[in-house]
Amino acid sequence: MGKIKFNFENKTAVITGGAQGFGLDIAKRFLNSGAKVIIWDVDTKMIEKSEKNLNNTNLKSAVVDVSNYEEVVNATNNIIKNSNIDILINNAGITGPTNTLWEYDIEIWKKVVNINLMGTFNCCRAIVPNMIKNNYGRIVNVASVAGKDGNANASAYSVGKAGAIGLTKSLGKELADKNIAVNAVTPAGAKTRILDQMTKEHVQTMLSKVPRGRFLEVEEFTSLVCWLSSEENTFSTAAVFDISGGRSTY
């Protein structure tokens, strides 16, 4: 089946964690649909590789640690000097180690929550005022089914993603009187490098919970994000869109 063509002409999108996995595929689809894309990532080598791979004059990038508010503000200001930011995809995230809560390293726990939750907050806080000024915006926060179910031995990740869901619902309501939509997506496990951070046993446990019996394909995820980011999404906001292959019960 061919991909639906979305129209992102004259739209500027910021994608965090955009140099690999979900973020890179979203960047590719946005560029093919006419958008100007800025990817933010902490991995300089992956940024260089993705720029070479995408090879598009409408693509720009910046090395940004989303858990550092000052870096986020500086990167935002560099964009809004010359352009509005129409779309924000909060995709940057890490899983952290697989461990029980009572044995979890405290500093690593904080780091995982900082990137997954505070990173989403930092980007929204910095970018939303520009969207309000322009009376237009589409924000998609990449959460996880772990934020709804709470995965055993992944407390920091589950907490960070649950927080991102709460943030989505709150911010979506705050902006509901404007042409700004804020939604979250909750994917189950997908074929990305993030799986490499987990033990084989943990990956197998995740897969066993999915009635469709397979991992999510990256392109399937991107299609959902594209619709939520488009002008066609005129009503859905402060909502959570599940893409878990039947795993989720709510």
The pLDDT tens digits for 123-165 are 999 999 999 999 999 999 999 999 999 999 999 999 999 999 9
Q: What is the DSSP letter of 238?
A: S
Instruction: Name the CA radius of gyration of the chain, rounded.
Output: 17
| pLDDT score at 3 | 74
Angle between helix axes 119-134 and 69-80 (nearest 10 degrees) is 30
Please state, in angstroms and rounded to a whole number, the distance separating the CA atoms of residues 130 and 246: 37
Residue 201 and residue 210: Cα distance in Å, rounded? 15
pLDDT of amino acid 202: 75
CB 197 within 8 A of CB 95: yes
Phi-psi region for residue 10, left (φ > 0), alpha (ψ -120 to 50) or beta?
Answer: left
**How far, in Å, CA of 149 to CA of 133, rounded?**
37
In three-state secondary structure terms, 1 is: coil
Tell me, what's the pLDDT at 250?
82
What are the residue numbers of the active site?
A: 157
Angle of the 155-174 helix axis to the 119-134 helix axis, nearest 10: 20
Per-residue model confidence (pLDDT) at position 2? 56
Q: Which pLDDT does position 138 carry in this prediction?
A: 98
pLDDT value at position 194?
63
For the domain made up of 12-188+217-243, the CATH class stated in words is: alpha beta
pLDDT single digits (tens) 211-246: 998 989 999 999 999 999 999 999 999 999 999 999
Question: Residues 183-198: pLDDT tens digits?
Answer: 999 998 887 766 676 7
Per-residue pLDDT tens for 11-37? Answer: 999 999 999 999 999 999 999 999 999
Taking a C-beta distance cutoff of 8 angstroms, is the pair 214, 240 a contact? no
Q: What is the pLDDT of residue 92?
A: 98
pLDDT of residue 31: 98
What does the domain layout of the chain look like in residue ranges? Answer: 12-188+217-243
* Number of residues that this document lists for the chain: 250
Q: How does the average pLDDT of the chain come out, rounded?
A: 94
Task: Please name the amino acid found at residue 177.
Answer: D
Looking at residue 1, its pLDDT comes to 47
- Closest to 182 in 3D by CA, of 127, 119, 220: 127
**Buried b / exposed e along 193-208 (16+ C-beta atoms within 10 A):** ebbeebeeebbebbbe
The pLDDT tens digits for 43-88 are 999 999 999 999 999 999 999 999 999 999 999 999 999 999 999 9
